[in-house]
Structure formats: structure tokens, C-alpha cells
Amino acid sequence: MTENESEQLYEDLRRKLADYGSAPPDAVWAGIRQQVPARQPRRWKRSALMLLLLCLPVLMLTMGPRLWRQATGLGHSTTISPATSQSQLGGAKPSSANQPAVESPANATANSVVRNESPSSLAASSTTEGGSAPTASTPMASEMPKPALSSRMGLVGHSHSAENRSRLGRNAEPVLATANPRRKRRAALALLLPTRRSAGNTTALGRKAARTQAETTTAEVPDEQLAYRRRTRRTAYERRGEVARSGASGAVATPHASPDGEGTAQQFSNEPISLLTVRPALPAAEAPEVHRVKRPRPHRSRKAQLLKNWSVQVVAGPSLTYRTLGDSARQLERLERPSVGYSGQVTASYALNKQLTLSTGLGYAEFANRLHYQLQKTTAEASRIIDFRDVYRFVNIPLLAQYTLGGNQRWRIGTLGGANLGLLTGTRTTEGSACNCSQTTAPATGTYRNISLVLTAGGFLNYQFAPGQWLTLRPQGQYFLNSLTDPASGRATRHPWSLGVQAGISFDLEPKK
């Protein structure tokens, strides 16, 4: 079994045993470990050695050429030794003024060292070593042509072919170097021990030495070669001007001749060029056609239109009833206590709007009082317990208004108020005195009024348990505005009142789909 297979076995065991409640016993795990071979340690040394062997060729390819250039001294440009005046050129031929001087290795070394000196030091050294200042016969730096392109760029190269160099070597006289013996020794030491300057530093030094040499002294160049160089540079600048004019850049280059006549320079202008932006014409988006579609209103039948906003309620419930008496109440009337009464009604309601609803109908109400006391005339006689219940029955015609305070499609809550017209239909009252009393259902004519006005106030809570069907709960109170007894009969004024709760159900008469 290999290492990968053992890892796969471990993973399978973990996956299969993950859903079990407890881990396997240690003995089971010990048997599993005996069957699975031990995990071999990873060989880090072998991996590190392979990585080192892969990185070594990359380092050799990247760092090798750079180190080789620094060791061989490539990148240092060679310059032409500055020529002194004709008086210093002992035995020079008349034609040597038009021939370029060929520098020897020692002179080249000296010139490479001269690059590190400042222009002032170079001018001083050339003056002291030459023995005299430059005269009118000596060409000045401004009158001589500019140094070669290879020397300005700091590149290693030769301005002439081998044949030209041999011809120039035969015709030219030896040129005196501007460096003293001490500088020659430094140059020789620099060749033996090359510096670690990078190619960029060497190029910068080459440019500096070329500018210094151009400012101090220049070499003599043949007239034919100078003319050829001028023609070459002029052709190159003309080509560059054509490319710049044909290009799409915003800067315009115009070639013009330099004062020395060697070449042309480019003059740039920062004036913006008007560009023509080509924008394809986008097709205009057509406005979508909007067709207003009127929804067909549901056609209501005449029956539905008549029954719209109408509903029927059936409610009933108990109440606690009592009365208020006038000042001329008898002793028997003052012994009355509260009792339980009942009421119920069937009403039809019409919704004027979402908040206000009016209802009217027919109802029944019962107001009751209770007499309960113990009567004993003498100590010898047995006591007598009086327990009577007086009842006043009415048929009501309610006129109520309901105002919805809040709710939604399921429930509603609000207040109600109105008046009931009570018609007295029957009584059962207690007549006589406290010691001798009895109940009667036919009181004397003119004792009670047949019509009464009852004030009603309360609230309601409706819950819709089915479409168009509501459960209703009404806590309310009632009070008789007028006296139930007739003052002409000599009885004390009586105003019954009640506090109770009515519950029932309400149906919307409008048919539902």
C-alpha cells in the first residue's frame, strides 16, 4: 500500500465514521494502524537540491553576461586624443591638418581617465602640458565639428573601417596625449583592475567626457568624411520630419538647419490639433405604443346594488341593572338591591362610508331589582325572610350609530351611541309596606309610563371569520332619560340603568363571489 492509498483509506474512514455518535475504541484504531503502513517522511533535501539545480542555470544566464562585461571593461567608449597646436606637432606634414589622428592604446587609456576630470581641469592640463595657450592658428571647439555619435552615446565602436584606419595611420602623425605619466599609470591600472560600474554609469561617464572634450579640444577630421557625415545626418533628420508630419500625434516637428551646418534639429509645438471624432449615428429609439386598457367593471345585478353596504346583526347578553330614586322614596323602595337583567336585539345596518354605519331594528330588554331582607315582629314569633324580584319588561326600537376607529380586512374596532325607544310591556312589582308586602303583576292604572327614552353608549369589536361574516362584541350602558313612574301617582321618581355586554354575529347582505 502506497502513501496515497493510505491517505485515501484514512479519508474514507473519517467520512464513514463522521455520522456515528462516539469514536471507535482504541483497540480498533490500534488494529487499523497496524494494517496501514507508517507514513514516510517527506524528503525535503531532495526537493531543495532539485530547486537549486533549476535556479543555477537561470542565475548563470542572467548574471553571467553582466559580470563578463564588467570584467572585460566593455561599455567604456574610446575617444580621440585632443590635438594641440601645430607648433607642438614636431615634424608634422602640411597635409596632417586634414587627417584624423590615430590614438595609441596608451593615449586611449589616458583619455578614458580624462573623462572623470572636470572641464576646467582638462583645460588647465592641456594648457600646462602643451606649453602655450591656443593661438589663432589652432582650431577652437566651437569651430570644429561635434564629436562622433558613438562617442556621445558612450558606445564601443570604431568610426572607420580597418582599411581607413590603416590609411590614416600611414598619413597621420603621432598625436601628443593630454594626460601626464601619472594619469597613464592610473589608466593602465584601471585596465588591469576593471571597475564595477554598471553599463548605465559607464554610458553617463562617456557622455560627460564627450561633452568635456567637445568643449575643450577636438580632433582633426578630413573634409571628405565631414561632408559625408553632414549629408548622412541631413537625410536622417529629413526622414524623421516626414515621419513626424505623417504621424497622428499632437506635436508638430519642423526641421531646420543648425548654426554649424552639420545637421537639423526638431522644433516642437504644443498647439492642439483638431481631431475629427467619428461617432456613428445611433438609431433613435422608438417610443413604445401605450394602449390604455380599461378594465371592465363588474356588472352588478339589481339585487346586489340594492343590498350593497347592508348588513344584519343579531346580539344578546346579560347586564347588571339598578335604579336611581327621588327624595320621596318609601322604605320598601330603599331596600331594593341590584339584580341581573337581559337584553337582545336584531338590527339592520347600512354603511354610509368606511367609518360611519347607521343601524336600527327591534329589541327586548329586562330591568330588575331585588328585595331580600328578614322580617320578625316579636321575639316569640318566628322570623320571615322576604325575597322578591321586581321586573320591568320593554320592547326597544334602537337607533344607533357606529364609528370605526381602526382595523383591516380581519378586524374592526370603534364606538357606538344612540337612543332606544322603550315600550313597557309588563311589570312584576312589590306593593305594600315593609312589614306587609306582596307582589303583583297588575299595578294601579297610571303608576308607570308606557313609553320611555333610553340613552345607549358603548363600543364594539368585530372579527371577520369568513367572507361577509363577523363576530361582534358590544360592551354598552343604558340609562333612562325620563322617570319610569308617573309623578302624578304620588310615587318617587325612578330612573333605571344597566351595564352589560352583548355578543352576536353580523352578516353582510351583499353577495360574495
Residues 446 and 483: their CA atoms lie apart, in Å, by 13
User: Is 410 inside a domain boundary?
Assistant: yes
User: Is 73 inside a domain boundary?
Assistant: no
Residues of the domain holding 8: 3-35
* pLDDT per residue as tens, the chain (513 positions): 566 678 888 888 888 877 666 666 788 878 887 887 766 666 777 888 888 888 888 888 888 788 877 777 654 444 444 333 343 433 334 333 334 333 443 343 334 333 444 434 433 344 334 333 333 334 343 334 444 444 344 433 344 444 444 444 444 444 344 445 666 666 656 555 544 444 445 455 555 555 655 555 444 445 677 777 777 777 777 777 665 665 544 444 444 444 444 444 455 667 777 666 777 777 787 888 888 888 887 777 788 888 889 999 999 999 999 999 988 888 888 888 999 999 999 999 999 999 999 999 999 999 999 988 777 776 666 777 888 889 999 999 999 999 999 999 899 999 999 999 999 999 998 887 767 777 888 787 888 999 999 999 999 999 999 988 999 999 999 999 999 998 888 888 999 999 999 999 999 988 776
Looking up cell 355578543 gives: 503
Q: How many of the other CB atoms lie within 10 Å of CB of 77?
A: 25
Both 118 and 203 in one domain: the answer is yes
Both 100 and 201 in one domain: the answer is yes
Both 181 and 319 in one domain: the answer is no
Residues 379 and 388: their CA atoms lie apart, in Å, by 24
User: Is 251 inside a domain boundary?
Assistant: no
User: Is 474 inside a domain boundary?
Assistant: yes
Both 109 and 227 in one domain: the answer is yes
List the beta bridge partners of residue 396.
363, 422
Q: Are strands 437-440 and 451-466 parallel, antiparallel or unpaired?
A: unpaired
3-class DSSP state of 196 = coil
Both 177 and 316 in one domain: the answer is no
Both 343 and 437 in one domain: the answer is yes
**Nearby residues of 325 by Cβ (< 8 Å), 6 or more positions away:** 333, 334, 492, 493, 494
Both 384 and 502 in one domain: the answer is yes
Residues 181 and 192: their CA atoms lie apart, in Å, by 17
Both 16 and 121 in one domain: the answer is no
User: Is 41 inside a domain boundary?
Assistant: no
Both 376 and 497 in one domain: the answer is yes
Helix (H) or strand (E) holding 170: helix 162-171
Both 10 and 121 in one domain: the answer is no
User: Is 59 inside a domain boundary?
Assistant: no
Residues 158 and 164: their CA atoms lie apart, in Å, by 11
Question: Please, what's the b/e burial string for 118-155 (b: 16 or more CB within 10 A of its CB; e: otherwise)?
Answer: eeeebbebbeeebeeebeeebbeeeebbbbbebbbebb
- Number of domains observed in the structure of the chain: 3
Q: What is the DSSP string of 465-497?
A: EETTEEEEEEEEEEEESS-SB-GGGTPPPEEEE
User: Is 90 inside a domain boundary?
Assistant: no
Domain boundary among the residues 233, 258, 286 is at 233
Both 201 and 112 in one domain: the answer is yes
User: Is 422 inside a domain boundary?
Assistant: yes
3-class DSSP state of 268 = strand
On whether the CB atoms of residues 469 and 409 are closer than 8 A, the answer is: no
Both 102 and 17 in one domain: the answer is no
